[in-house]
Amino acid sequence: MPSIITQPTGNKDAREHYLDTIEKFVDLNSIDRFLSKSDRITLEEIYPDKRIKLWGVTSGGANKSKWSKIRRGDITIFSRDGVIYSFAVATHKFSNKPLAEFLWGVNYKGEAWENIYTVSEVNPLNIKYSEFNNAVGYKENFVIQGFNVLSDEISNRFLSVFPIESKAIYDAVSSEAYRFNLDDIVETDKKSISHSRVEQGYLRKLLFGNKANSNCACCGLNYPTQFLITAHIKKRSYCSKEERLNPNVVMPMCNFGCDELFEKGIISVNIDGIFYQKKETSSETIQKHIDSIIGKKCDYYSDDSEIFFKWHRELVH
């Protein structure tokens, strides 16, 4: 379960920082000179399009100690004027004073926001403080006044009422752990939530690694991974346990039409690895999208995946 990070943005500095490096993005090339080799490699892996969103906190008070608790997948809730108005998911963290000064300058005390963490999946919210307080058990008039990483207990209370979660980041799962989890399931149509997340964690890690953005296998467009589905070529309900462990059974597809077209068998992949149209459609809009796909080579077609594409060609009608 992720921890909740509270980040009020009521003062001028915080409002400007949110606009400059959360609403907008920072080009990785523009900050390359400030980064260590390891941080540069990590950020290139997470953000292959080099469009980074990031936040920082000073080391004043207990901030450094709180910041040190942040983990990949934790959720920051941004607030001001009595409302939690957005959230973002933490992807990486590092201390870097020169970078912080370049991005945000220093505060009135001469402090830099040097304890940095990068984020993805920025989404709007509309949660009043009173609703937040009621969910976590705080006094009715409590006001979110500072950066904090909430305890597991309080984070769980919040998430039980407001079930926010990353659609891209799952715990990494080994094939051994995934196999054990599968073996523990008697009826595959009665899966627990924890099993579902283990499966998603295993398969999504195979497809995306730590990337925040990747390409749809059908249209080829680049999207944040929260908009990409870990799509089974052979429908999951028809897969044996061994097939579910096979990394060639899945490929990434976007939520913007491609997954639905493939799922319904309107498009498929032939024995040459080329997308083709299996079914007609009466919609001109849909046909235009199909026309942009058919004839393209599928990057996920191989000798190892052909058995799954063959199933899709022959049995999805």
pLDDT in tens, 7-52: 999 999 999 999 999 999 999 999 999 999 999 999 999 998 899 9
For residues 152 and 191, state if they share a domain: no
Closest among 198, 228, 120, 104 to 166, alpha carbons compared: 120
Domain with residue 40: its CATH number is 3.10.590
For residues 29 and 83, state if they share a domain: yes
Q: What percent of the chain has pLDDT over 90?
A: 74
For residues 140 and 198, state if they share a domain: no
For residues 208 and 152, state if they share a domain: no
For residues 51 and 128, state if they share a domain: yes
Instruction: Name the CA dihedral angle for 299, 303, 307, 309, rounded to a multiple of 10 degrees.
Output: 20
For residues 68 and 195, state if they share a domain: no
9 part of a folded domain? yes
**pLDDT tens for residues 79-107?**
999 999 999 999 999 999 999 999 999 99
Query: Using CB atoms within 10 A of its CB, is residue 75 exposed (0-12), middle (13-18) or buried (19+)?
Result: buried
Q: How confident is the model at residue 177 (pLDDT cuts 50, 70, 90)?
A: low
What pTM does this model have?
Answer: 0.71
Q: How confident is the model at residue 170 (pLDDT cuts 50, 70, 90)?
A: low
For residues 202 and 291, state if they share a domain: yes
Question: Tokens 């980041």 — which residue?
Answer: 169
**pLDDT tens for residues 19-30?**
999 999 999 999
Cα distances from 277 to residues 97, 249, 266, in angstroms, run: 54, 21, 6
Instruction: Check whether 188 has a pLDDT greater than 60.
Output: no
Single-letter amino acid, residue 253: M
Q: Which ranges in the chain belong to alpha helices (H)?
A: 12-18, 37-46, 63-67, 97-104, 129-136, 152-161, 175-183, 193-208, 241-244, 258-263, 284-291, 306-315
Q: What is the residue range of 45's domain? A: 4-161
Cα distances from 123 to residues 85, 87, 126, 226, in angstroms, run: 9, 6, 10, 11
For residues 102 and 146, state if they share a domain: yes
Q: How confident is the model at residue 245 (pLDDT cuts 50, 70, 90)?
A: confident
pLDDT of residue 210: 80
Mean pLDDT over 173-181 rounds to: 59
Mean pLDDT over 246-253 rounds to: 93
Instruction: Check whether 120 has a pLDDT greater than 80.
Output: yes
For residues 252 and 305, state if they share a domain: yes
Residue 205 CB partners (closer than 8 Å, separation 6+): 170, 172, 173
For residues 154 and 219, state if they share a domain: no
